[in-house]
A and B are shown apart, each in its own frame.
Chain A
Amino acid sequence: MAVAFDEMNGPGGDLRPAYQELSRWLKETPPNALEYRRQEAELLFRRIGITFAVYGDAEAQERLIPFDVIPRIMSAKEWTLLEKGLKQRVRALNMFLRDIYHGRDILRANIIPDDLIFQNPVFRPEMNGQDVPHDVYVHIAGIDIVRVDADNFIVLEDNARTPSGVSYMLENREIMMRLFPDLFARHRVAPVEKYPDELLSALRSVAPLSASAEPTVALMTPGVYNSAYYEHSFLADKLGIELVEGRDLIVKNDEVFMRTTEGLKRVDVIYRRVDDDFLDPLTFRPDSALGVPGLMSAYAAGNITLANAVGTGIADDKAVYSYMPDIVKFYLAEEPILKNVPTWRCREPKDLAYVLDNLGDLVVKEVHGSGGYGMLIGPAATKATIEAFRDKLKREPEGFIAQPTLALSTCPTCTASGLAPRHVDLRPFVLTGRDHVTIVPGGLTRVALKEGSLVVNSSQGGGTKDTWILDE
C-alpha cells in the first residue's frame, strides 16, 4: 500500500497552503490546552444529548461519537472542483433512477445488465411507471469522498437512501466556534448554518401538485430507539417541522394526515428517515409497526412526496456504483469529474476469480451493506477471516464487490501521544429540489482514530472532525 497523502503536510512534508494558519496556531497552543478543549467538547456533546446508539451493544446504548478538535481544511479551489463533481453525479443519479423506473434506456443501450437491476432486492417493482413529483428521487444524497493525492477526489459510495450525519456537520461547527473563537477569527471559514434552510426549501419545492401553496413538511423517524434519532429530532427542530412516527400518520382517501390535538392535518412532503421496507406494511413488510398503512397508495395517487423516493436503493447498490462513470456519460454526455474506485464485481466470473486470488490485498464489501458492517479489509484481516469471506464469496458472489485498498488521505488528529496523522473521508450532503442542486460548503469528515485503520464508520470506532472550506 502506498504512503498516504497527508492533507496538512503534503508529499515531502511541505506544509500545504490551506493549513498554514492552523499550523502556526498549533505551534502557539500548548498541547494540554487542546486536551482540555477536547474534554469540554465531549461534555457539551453529552449535555446536548448528541449521542447515537450502537446496535447490539446494550451496555453502551447511547454513545458519543468521538470528536476531534483539529479541523480538516480545504481550499476554495478544491471545494469548487468537488462541488461541481458532486452536482454532476447527483444529477446523473436522479436521471438514472427516473429511467430505471420508466423507459429503461440505459438497459436497452446495454450499459448495465438487466439482471443487476431486476434481480436486485432493492429494486422496487412498485415504482415501475410511477411518476414522482418533479422527477426528483434523491433529494438528499450523502456522497462519500476520499482523497489519495492532491488532485483527485474519489467517490467511495453514493448514499442515496437515508444518509445520516448532517447534524454532526452542523453541531461540530457550533462547538468549534464556541471552543476556538480565536482560530475562527484567523481564518475565513465558509458557513454551513444555512443547511436547514436549504433543506426545507428543497423539500417544499417538491411538494405534490395537490398540495396547498404552503405545503406541510414532516420528518418521519422510526422513533427514539433508532441510532440516528438525535439527528432526526435535531433536524425537525431546525427546520421547524413536526417529527412524526408512523403511528402519528394516517391515510384517508389516498391523502396522508397527521394526528394533531386539533384533529387531522394533511401532510404534503415527508422527509422520511425510515427504510423502504418499513414505510407501509400493506406494501412492504407486513410485520412492521413503524410504517403507515396505505402510504404507498397515497404515493401512487401523487398526494405525497417522499424524500428520498422509494426505490433509490438501486442507485446506492455497490455493484451499480461500479457503473457510475458510464451512467454519468450516458445521461449527461459529460466526462465524470469525480472518479470511482476501480471495482471488481464478484457477480462476474472473471472478476470473482481475480478477487478470490487476491483477497489479502483487497477490500470486499457487501453490495447492500452500510455502516462498515460486513466488510473485509484484506491487508488488516486474519487468515481465518479471509477464509470465511472466501466461503461467503463462493456461496453468494452477486452479494459482493471488491476494491483495491486505498491509501486514504490523512489529517493531523489528537491522539494519546500527541498530534498524529489519521485517515479521513468526507461526506458532503447534496440537496436536490425542483430545479436546482445545492451543497453547503463542507460536510462530515470522519476519521479513523486507530493508528493505521481505514475504517471511519462511527459504528466501528471512528470519530468526526469539523470540515472547513476556506473562503478566499
Chain B
Amino acid sequence: MLSRTAENLYWLARYVERAEYLARTIDATLRVTALPAAYIGKTNEWDSALLTAGVSASFYEAYSEANEQNVVEYLAFSPSNPSSIKNCIEAARLNSRSVRTALTSEMWDTINGSWIELQEVWNKGTGSREELAKFLRFVQETSLRFDGSAYRTMLRNDAYWFSRLGLHLERADNTARILDVKYHVLLPEEEHVGGPLDYYQWTSILRSVSALTAYHWVYRETLKPWLIADLLILNDTLPRSLASCYSNLVRNLDQIGVAYGRQGASQRHARGVRNRLEHSHMDDIFQHGVHEFIQEFIADNARLGEIITKQYLI
C-alpha cells in the first residue's frame, strides 16, 4: 500500500485513541476534584491533567492558572493546542478523508458522523457540566465505535495492522505518561508519606485507563499502589498495560513482516522492549526507580514510532 495511506491510517488511530484518553483524563480529574479537599490533599489535579497530556508548557504560554475552566478549555476545545480533543477529531476526520479508500464504510461513518455531530459542540461549547460530561462520553463512544468497526469490518491486511500500530503505540504512550506523572503516589508505602489521601488518586489513575473494575477482578484485593503499578505496567491481560500494548505491537509488526517477507529495525526494537517488560518484576522496577523505568519506556516507545515511520511511512 501507499506509504502515505499507511501513515494516515496509523495517525488516524493515534488521534482517535488520544482523543479518548484526553476525555478520560478530564473525566477522572473532574471526579477527583469534586471531592472535599481533605480527600485529595494539596496537589493541583488540573496541573497533573496537563502533565499527563504532555501539554503543560504550552498551556502556561496561554494561561496563568490551571483551573477547571482553563484546563478543560485547553484540553478539550482549544484550537491552539495541537492535541486538544477538537484538534484530534478534526485531524482524524481529515486523515479519514485522505484515506477513504482504505477505510471501511463503517469506519468512515463513525468518524464522519461524530465529526458532523460535534460541529455543534465546537460552535456552541458545553454550557454546563452535564453537557461537558455528555460530550466526554460521546468522544469515548466514538473511539469505541471506531475501534469496534475497525475490528469487525477491516480486512486483516497491512491497512489493519498499520492502524493497530498507531492505536497501541499511542495507548502505551498514554499509560506511560499517567504513570510518569503519578508514580510518586504508587511508591510502596514505606517510602511515601501519604495514607488514605492516595486512595482517590489511585482510583483516578485507574479510571483514566478504564481499569478500575479490572483491578478488582485481577487482584481481588483492596487498592494497593504496587499492584496498580503491576497492572498498568506488566499485566498482559489489561489492554491498556504497557505489556499488552507491546504484545500487540510485536504481533502486528510481525504480521507486516510476514506479509512483506521482510523484517527490519522496527520488529527488532519492539521485540526488545517487549522482552524487557516480560522479564521485569515490580520489585526490581521499584528498586531501580519507577520513574527512571517509565521515562526510559517513554523514550523507547517514541523511538519505535520514529523507526516505524522511517521503515514504512515515508
> What is the interface of chain A, defined by CB distance below 8 A to chain B?
46-47, 49, 223-224, 229, 233-234, 236-237, 242-245, 247-248, 258-262
Measured in the bound complex, the distance between the Cα atoms of B109 and A49 in whole Å is 9
Which residues of chain B are within 8 angstroms of A229 by Cβ–Cβ distance? 97
Contact B113 A261, beta carbon cutoff 8 Å: no
Asked, given contacts A261-B158, A261-B312, A262-B260, whether A49 binds B3 with beta carbons under 8 Å apart, the answer is no
Take A247-B4, A248-B3, A261-B158 as given contacts and tell me if A49 and B101 are in contact as well, using a CB distance cutoff of 8 Å.
no
Per-residue interface assignment for chain B, residues 241 to 261, with 1 indicating a CB less than 8 Å from any chain A CB and 0 otherwise: 000000000000000100010
9 pairs of residues in contact across A and B, judged by CB atoms under 8 Å: A47-B112, A49-B112, A223-B98, A224-B97, A233-B100, A237-B101, A248-B4, A259-B2, A261-B312
Chain A residues with Cβ below 8 Å from B262 are: 262
Contact bitstring B1-18, A, C-beta under 8 A = 1, else 0: 111111000000000000
CB distance from A222 to the nearest CB of B (A): 12
Main secondary structure of the interface of A (DSSP, over half): mixed
Are B109 and A47 neighbours in the complex by a CB distance under 8 Å? yes
How distant is the Cα of A243 from the Cα of B97 in the complex, in angstroms? 11
> From residue A404, how far is it (CB to closest CB) to chain B in Å?
42
Q: Which A residues are in CB contact (< 8 Å) with B297?
A: none
Contact A261 B97 (CB under 8 A): no
Contact B3 A233 (CB under 8 A): no
How many of chain B's residues have a CB under 8 angstroms from any CB in A?
A: 24
A223 to B260 Cα, complex, angstroms: 28
Q: Which 5 A-B residue pairs are closest in the complex by CB-CB distance?
A: A237-B101, A233-B100, A261-B312, A259-B3, A261-B6
Evaluate contact between A260 and B97: CB separation under 8 angstroms: no
Instruction: Answer yes or no: B59 CB below 8 A from chain A CBs.
Output: no
Tell me which residues across on chain B come within 8 A of A261, comparing CB atoms.
1-3, 6, 158, 162, 256, 260, 312-313
Q: Given B94, B116, B312, which contacts A46 in the complex, CB threshold below 8 Å? A: B116
A residues within 8 A CB of B6? 261
Contacts of B158 in A (CB 8 A): 261
Q: A47-B113, A49-B112 are in contact. Are A258 and B97 (CB under 8 A)?
A: no
> Of A233, A237, A245, A262, which one neighbours B97 at CB under 8 angstroms?
A233
In angstroms, how far is the closest chain B Cβ from the Cβ of A244? 6
B74 within 8 A of A: no
**B residues less than 8 Å from A247 (CB atoms):** 4
Q: Using Cβ atoms and an 8 Å threshold, which residues of chain A touch B100?
A: 49, 233-234, 237
Q: Are A260 and B1 in touch, CB under 8 angstroms?
A: yes
Whether B98 contacts A224 by the Cβ 8 Å rule is: yes
Please, how many angstroms separate the alpha-carbon atoms of A168 and B313 in the complex?
A: 33
